[in-house]
């Protein structure tokens, strides 16, 4: 897999994932598990939705 996420994109996804998981705990809902998706994509630096469209937020060398 070629990385297609930059630093700002990863930071936003980590924060968003933590907020969603926190909301799931607060409301005692299984929907908090959805927060694992942005966390996982941030940690592997690859977004499957970016791939088919050729989008990349990485800086070009």
Does the pLDDT of residue 6 top 70, yes or no? yes
At 22-50, the pLDDT tens digits run 999 999 999 999 999 999 999 999 999 99
Residue with tokens 């299984």: 30
- The 10 Å Cβ neighbour count of residue 14 is 15
> How far from chain centre, in Å, is Cα 25?
19
Phi-psi group of 20: left, alpha or beta (phi > 0 → left; psi -120 to 50 → alpha; rest → beta): alpha
Q: Are 14 and 42 in contact (CB under 8 A)?
A: yes
Average pLDDT of 4-17?
Answer: 96
pLDDT of amino acid 61:
64
Residue-level pLDDT at 60? 75
Tell me how far apart the alpha carbons of residues 27 and 49 are, in angstroms, rounded to a whole number.
28
């Amino acid at each position: 897999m070629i990385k297609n996420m930059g630093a700002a994109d990863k930071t936003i996804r980590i924060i968003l994932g933590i907020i969603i998981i926190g909301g799931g705990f607060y409301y005692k809902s299984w929907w908090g598990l959805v927060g694992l998706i942005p966390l996982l994509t941030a940690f592997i630096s690859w977004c499957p939705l970016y791939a088919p469209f050729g989008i990349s937020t990485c800086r070009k060398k």
